[in-house]
Amino acid sequence: MFERTVKDQRNQRTERLFRILFLLMSGVLIVPVFAVLGFLFYKGAPALSWAFLTTWPEDGMTAGGILPALFGTLWLVGVALLVSVPIGVAAAIYLSEYAKDNWMTRVINLAIINLAGVPSIVHALFGVGAFVLFFEFGTSILAASLTLAVMTLPVVIVSTREALQAVPQAFREASWSLGNTRWQTIRHVVLPNSGSGILTGIILEVSRTVGETVPVMFTGAAFFLPYLPTSVFDQTMAMSLHLFVVTTQVPGVPEQLPFGVALVLILMVLVLNSASILFRSRLRRRKKW
């Protein structure tokens, strides 16, 4: 029977110390999240009702509901996803599966990194110049969604590329040895086994898109509209802008109203993310490795 040496005991104490330290650090990250959610529920829950979700703002936005802002946010997120996900996934497939390691690839990677670090106000000005004025889309859902799509492209590209590269190279080699082409291997082997990672990027994109204010303010969101948009060329209200307006621009707003809008906004993000996470978990269970 072996006895523990002094060094073994010291290593075990160090191990326990770091385990406790990392646990405390995780707790420090989680506590603010629950604190924010608890505060929003405490302040905003009295404003929540079915009428709050299904009616228009009234009395100069000091009363009523958030239906046009809620509907408009879904428009913006949906169109932005339809644009950014196909382009981002296609770019990631090229960079991961086709592109050679040369100066052009390195320039593209540098451009993606720089694009991810550009402030949202710069993206907003780009959206005004490119989509509102140059392409003459005007201030519309299309212009705002395209601006959001450009802003979130790096997230989709990077997460998709990492997911593709995580698929073992042996899978590709086995497929090639059976006579499949590179595209057949990507379509039937690589993409099915990287779906969960791609969804991670989409989840991050949804979270950022829903909460952006400045890009939609400059390119497509309206202060108030008495109707719901019917096409991508219409203006729309947005939850993030509506929250900004009722918090800073409208006098006499009841205290619970801005907190109610913020609570619905965070719940929307949680619902969309939860649905994506459940789908991602289902894809992970279907992996073959």
CATH number at residue 184: 1.10.3720.10
- The DSSP output letter for 58 is E
Q: How far apart are CA 289 and CA 273, in angstroms?
A: 25
Collect all residues with Cβ–Cβ distance below 8 Å to 284 and sequence separation of at least 6. Answer: 196
Secondary structure letter of residue 131 according to DSSP: I
Q: Could you give the CA distance from residue 287 to residue 209 in angstroms, rounded to a whole number?
A: 29
Cβ pair 246, 258 in contact under 8 A: yes
Residue 7 lies in a domain: no
Among left, alpha and beta (phi > 0; psi -120 to 50; other), residue 229 is: beta
* Residue 61 lies inside a defined structural domain of this protein: no
| CA 123 from centroid of its chain's CA atoms | 16
Residue 108 lies in a domain: yes
Is 278 within a domain?
yes
- 201 is written with which tokens? 């990027």
Question: Checking phi first, is residue 60 left (phi over 0); if not, alpha (psi -120 to 50) or beta?
Answer: left
Q: Is residue 225 part of a domain?
A: yes
**What global pTM score does this model have?**
0.86
pLDDT, tens digit (0-9, with 9 covering 90-100), for 119-145 = 889 999 999 999 999 999 999 999 999
Angle of helix 141-166 versus helix 191-211 axis, rounded to 10: 140
- Rounded (5°) CA angle 171-172-177: 100
Element (H, E) at 24: helix 6-44
Show the low-confidence residues of the chain (pLDDT under 70).
1-4, 283-289
> Parallel, antiparallel, or unpaired: how do β-strands 57-58 and 63-64 relate?
antiparallel
The per-residue pLDDT for 83 is 93
- Note the pLDDT of residue 84: 92
Query: Could you tell me the residue range of the domain that residue 276 belongs to?
Result: 66-285
- What CA–CA distance (Å, rounded) separates 54 from 70? 9
pLDDT confidence of residue 9: 76
What's residue 205's pLDDT?
83
45 in any annotated domain: no
Indicate whether 155 belongs to any domain: yes
Q: Could you give the 3-state DSSP secondary structure of residue 148?
A: helix
Query: Does residue 235 lie in a domain region?
Result: yes
Contact 243, 76 (CB under 8 A): no
* Residue 289: predicted pLDDT: 56
Q: Residue 189 in contact with residue 172, Cβ under 8 Å? A: yes
Rounded Cα distance between 15 and 12, Å, is 5
Compute the Cα dihedral for 193, 194, 197, 203 and give only its sign: negative
The count of structural domains within the chain is 1
Q: Are 57 and 65 in contact (CB under 8 A)?
A: yes
135 SS3 class:
coil
Amino acid at 60: G
Contact 228, 252 (CB under 8 A): no
